Structures are given as C-alpha cells and as structure tokens.
C-alpha cells in the first residue's frame, strides 16, 4: 500500500506491502486501492524482469518517474555500441505501457503472463518507488531466499 510520509517539501507516496488478486480471462489485474493514490500510477510501464541467479522472472511495474530514469540511462549509452543496441532491442521487446481502466485494472499482455508464470492469481509486491507482479508460488520460493539474506542486507542501510 502506498503510505504517505510528510517531509519539509511535500508529501511522498510509495508502494509497500503485498496484495494478491485474481487475473480474469482477459488478463486484467486489479491495482490495490491504497496504491491508486501514488502519483502517475494510472499509467505504468511494465517490464519482464529477467530471471536472476536465485529468482524466476516477474513483471516490474514502474510509474512514469521511475521509467524515465531507466529510459535516460539507456539513452545515454553510445549508439554505435553493439551491447547498447542489444539492450535497447531486448528491453523494448519486453516493455509494455498500460493505463488503468475505470475499474482500476491493468491488462497484462499474453507474453508477460506466460513469461512471469502467472495463472489465475498474481501477487503484487511493493518495492518502494515501483512494484512487482509475481506468480504467488514463484514469489514464495524467492521470498524464502530473500529472508535468508535480509539481516545481511539491512546492514547496508
């Protein structure tokens, strides 16, 4: 849920907690009511996030401000560099832009649903300035490994 935190300049919203929702036959997924207050959440960039050493693929959901950071980093890569061209192409193929409908749902592409292993349910996991869309079973496995590293990782703050 996006919580608001007052600071001296303005109110800041962020994504936190976990929510599980069903996915309907048209691949539509509900956005939690508390997350709808986050500025820019009506329009999201979705990216199939690659399988890592200890986790399966999931869908990364980014509001415009977060997506612009990623876009800027990619744009700053040299045009003539082969790896940069490969990254642009592979990111572009894995990206989708969605807008919430009047019932506060987003529609996931068939490819994203397949690669992320989503079936009838999806787990939305807050990740501060973005959120992740997981198959609940995949997330349970990854979450176990995340918990085993938590104590070590929290020391970095």
Using a cut of 0.85, tell me whether the model's pTM lies above it. yes
pLDDT score at 70: 95
Strands 58-62 and 131-134: antiparallel
Q: Which residue has the tokens 């990254």?
A: 87
Query: All domains of the chain, ordered by start, with CATH?
Result: 3-154 (3.40.1550.20)
Express each pLDDT in 4-24 by its tens digit: 444 434 567 789 999 999 999
pLDDT in tens, 33-84: 999 888 778 999 999 998 776 678 999 999 999 999 999 999 999 988 999 9
User: Token match 């935190």: residue?
Assistant: 5
Tokens of 37: 């207050």
């Amino acid at each position: 849920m996006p919580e608001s935190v007052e600071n001296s300049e303005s109110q800041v919203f962020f994504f936190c907690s976990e929510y599980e929702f069903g996915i309907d036959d048209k691949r539509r997924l509900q956005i939690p009511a508390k997350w709808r207050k986050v500025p820019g959440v009506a329009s999201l960039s979705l990216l199939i996030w690659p399988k890592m050493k200890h986790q399966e693929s999931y869908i990364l959901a980014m509001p415009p401000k977060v997506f612009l950071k990623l876009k800027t980093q990619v744009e700053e890569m040299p045009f003539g560099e082969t790896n940069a061209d490969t990254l642009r192409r592979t990111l572009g193929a894995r990206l989708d832009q969605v807008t919430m409908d009047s019932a506060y749902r987003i529609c996931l592409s068939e490819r994203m649903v397949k690669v992320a292993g989503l079936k009838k349910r999806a787990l939305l996991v807050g990740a501060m300035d973005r959120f992740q869309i997981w198959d609940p079973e995949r997330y349970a496995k990854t979450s176990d490994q995340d918990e085993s590293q938590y104590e070590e990782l929290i020391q970095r703050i």
